[in-house]
Structure 1
Amino acid sequence: MRLFPVAYAERKSVLPKNIFLAVIYILVLVLAAVAAISFFSAWRITHPAKVTTPQISSNIAPDYKNISFTVGEGKEKINGWFFPYSGSKKTVVMVHGYGKNRLQFEEQTFPLIARLNREGFNVMTFDLRGSGNSSGSTSTFGKNETVDILGAVKYLKQRTTEQIILMGFSTGASSCLSALTQTPYKDSIIGVIADSPYSNIDNYVDYIVESSMWLPDIPFKPAVKFAVKKISKIDNSLDVISKMSSIIPTPVLLIDGAQDNPHTDDNTRLIYEMYKRKSPVQAHYWNSGAANYGESYLSAQDKYIDEVVNFSNECVEEAAKAVKK
């Protein structure tokens, strides 16, 4: 019997292929997890818990009236307070920062309001949309907030106010500067007080993400920052530094601290330097030496109030001189 050799086919191992597919599968899961966690973190940042306005005893607050007005296409209702000075036609509008309400420094805000009242100014404070007792839920770091300020200015101009000083803190400060460039009532705004504004939105979003996030920077920080900007629909058009030519020559008081943070420590100074170089009107800059971002008022309250009052009175005097020319 004739025997024929048997040919054996070499068996290919499927192990490398399985390992490759497993790695791909794991990477997809990791990316999906990073995306989901980043989106959740960004949603939490853009939808901060509302700090509701407390019931205030009449013995610690000046007399005030409840006010409200609507803004935006969705007719968001904005609620606030108006602290009148009898017969006055000049009003300081206070605009709070991210995660706050109409009382930026809670009850410690009242000494500032009371002093401005004694100096002859009405004071208006309100909750930005998505904050305090106002409607809405999303913080847009200056986009919608600017519209809210424009609504406040319109509200005042439809009543008895003739001269307005905008005063903002952090996001509110940058929004005040932006509102100045967009309002049809610019001639009525005789000054802006900006406490810790951002010069460009990327710096501020970096700061908010870092201060709000407990996750490791890599890979989450870039992903969260991207998601924050997409959810809030913001872009570099919010950069204050690009609007300097429209801010000038309105008098501006810029308040800064001595904080050591790469995302916040140069912003106010940069705005001041740009304003000083381009404006015929003297720029005002005060550094309180506060160790932390946005804490100038809390660290040097008496001096802070003096700076604000002196600047406000100077704005009124300069406006009177301009009318006589």
Structure 2
Amino acid sequence: MRKWRIWAARAAAATFVLGLLAYAGVSYRVADGLTKPTRQPLDPPAASVAATYEDVSFKSTDGLTLKGWWFPVPSADRAVVIVHGRGANRIKSSFDPQKIAQFLLANRYSVLLFDLRGHGESEGLRYSLGEYEPRDIVAAIDFAQAKAGIDRKRVAIIGESMGGGSAIMTVKADPTIGPVITDSAFADGTTVVSEVAPNYTGLPGWFTPGIVLMARIFFDLDLSLIKPAEVVRDHPERAWLFIQCENDTTVFRHHGVELKAASANPGTELWLVPGCEHVKAFDTHTVEWEQHVLAFLGREIR
């Protein structure tokens, strides 16, 4: 009986260790894949946005070469940097940067479309959901400011999804930047990954802590540092425009509500858009989207 108990204990321990190793291995592989997006082709071309443009490149604040397109408006005294989401690029995105850039150009905003690190033609292997992307966005703002010859407060950011969360986090990195508009941005990095990881991976939710841990250990991605709602709370002097689809099944509605609740500025606006999915407010409510954005930019850039 005693030998049987020893054998059973050893078998249980071995099973536990093997299970733990399998859990760690699967978590590592998923974390590797989730932080390394597949690069999409640049399609449509820049000329589909406007005839006048420049192929440009500039360095992130940590030295990565970033690529983009600069669309100038002669004598314009304001500009917008558009920041795409995960797995997209400057022009290929569910957000429709082509039409949004055309709308901004028609209203005399020069526009910079660029690829975040690890996307499009920019350097970098991985993305970080907003931990390191602010280094790209600060550089993009500085580039647009220099190209347009304007004060950096007159350079606004419009960010979608991960690009929206990253845009908010950029205010933590550099509080002197201009107005920020987000579409489908998340309020907390750990929360949004916990919510979407099961759908993206097909794995049970109990794998998510392992995925998060592996991302931190091996890929230097610490989701606990990515807290856009805290950044909003820390900057009551700043007004924000948050756009959030009511039916979003990627970044749930509550993220937009939490971002709005975090702001003490009476000029902050949350537009909850009925009947649309993730980053689809522009497609389903184009006129209203344009009205909200123009009104906000008109108030914040004078």
TM-score normalised by the chain length of structure 1: 0.83
Map residues 40-79 of structure 1 onto 2, 5 A cutoff.
40-54=29-43, 56=45, 58=47, 60-62=48-50, 63-73=52-62, 75-79=63-67
Judging changes above 3 Å, is the alpha-carbon distance between structure 1 residues 102 and 262 closer, same or farther for their aligned structure 2 residues? closer
CA shift, 1:262, in A, is: 9.5
The 3-state SS of whatever aligns with 1:79 is strand
What is the alpha-carbon distance in structure 1 between the residues aligned to residue 15 and residue 247 of structure 2?
Answer: 42
Q: Is the 8 A contact 2:157 2:167 kept in 1?
A: yes
Aligned to 1:221: 208
Aligned to 1:22: 11
Counterpart selection for 1:165 from 156, 167, 172: 156
Aligned to 1:7: none
The 3-state SS of whatever aligns with 1:243 is helix
Aligned to 2:91: 103
CA-to-partner distance for each residue in 1:68-93, whole Å, 9 max, x for gaps? 111243x2111011111111121011
The answer to whether structure 1 residue 32 and structure 2 residue 21 are counterparts is: yes
Judging changes above 3 Å, is the alpha-carbon distance between structure 1 residues 263 and 167 closer, same or farther for their aligned structure 2 residues? closer
Q: Which of 1 and 2 has greater Rg?
A: 1
The 3-state SS of whatever aligns with 1:143 is coil
CA shift, 1:181, in A, is: 3.3
CA-to-partner distance for each residue in 1:142-170, whole Å, 9 max, x for gaps? 01111110111122233313211111011
Structure 1 gaps of 5+ residues are 1-11, 320-325
Aligned to 1:5: none
The answer to whether structure 1 residue 305 and structure 2 residue 290 are counterparts is: yes
Judging changes above 3 Å, is the alpha-carbon distance between structure 1 residues 106 and 261 closer, same or farther for their aligned structure 2 residues? closer
Q: Is the 8 A contact 1:46 1:232 kept in 2?
A: no
Judging changes above 3 Å, is the alpha-carbon distance between structure 1 residues 113 and 55 closer, same or farther for their aligned structure 2 residues? closer
What is the alpha-carbon distance in structure 2 between the residues aligned to residue 245 and residue 215 of structure 1?
Answer: 34
CA shift, 1:35, in A, is: 0.7
Aligned to 2:169: 178
What is the alpha-carbon distance in structure 2 between the residues aligned to residue 236 and residue 55 of structure 1?
Answer: 36
Map residues 83-162 of structure 1 onto 2, 5 A cutoff.
83-103=71-91, 105=93, 108-159=96-147, 160-162=149-151
Q: Which amino acid aligns with 1:256?
A: Q
The 3-state SS of whatever aligns with 2:70 is strand
Judging changes above 3 Å, is the alpha-carbon distance between structure 1 residues 105 and 151 closer, same or farther for their aligned structure 2 residues? same
Q: Is the 8 A contact 2:42 2:92 kept in 1?
A: no
TM-score normalised by the chain length of structure 2: 0.89
Aligned to 1:4: none
Q: Is the 8 A contact 1:78 1:127 kept in 2?
A: yes
The answer to whether structure 1 residue 233 and structure 2 residue 221 are counterparts is: yes
Percent of residue pairs bearing the same amino acid type: 20
Q: Which amino acid aligns with 2:212?
A: K
Judging changes above 3 Å, is the alpha-carbon distance between structure 1 residues 260 and 84 closer, same or farther for their aligned structure 2 residues? closer
- Number of aligned residue pairs: 297
Judging changes above 3 Å, is the alpha-carbon distance between structure 1 residues 115 and 269 closer, same or farther for their aligned structure 2 residues? same
Q: Is the 8 A contact 1:69 1:155 kept in 2?
A: yes
CA-based RMSD of the aligned residues comes to 2.3
The 3-state SS of whatever aligns with 2:65 is strand
Aligned to 1:323: none
What is the alpha-carbon distance in structure 1 between the residues aligned to residue 135 and residue 116 of structure 2?
Answer: 10
Judging changes above 3 Å, is the alpha-carbon distance between structure 1 residues 111 and 261 closer, same or farther for their aligned structure 2 residues? closer
Q: Tell me which stretches of 4 or more aligned residues in structure 1 moved more than 6 Å.
A: none
CA-to-partner distance for each residue in 1:219-260, whole Å, 9 max, x for gaps? x22212322344243243321222235433233211011126
Q: Is the 8 A contact 1:52 1:131 kept in 2?
A: no
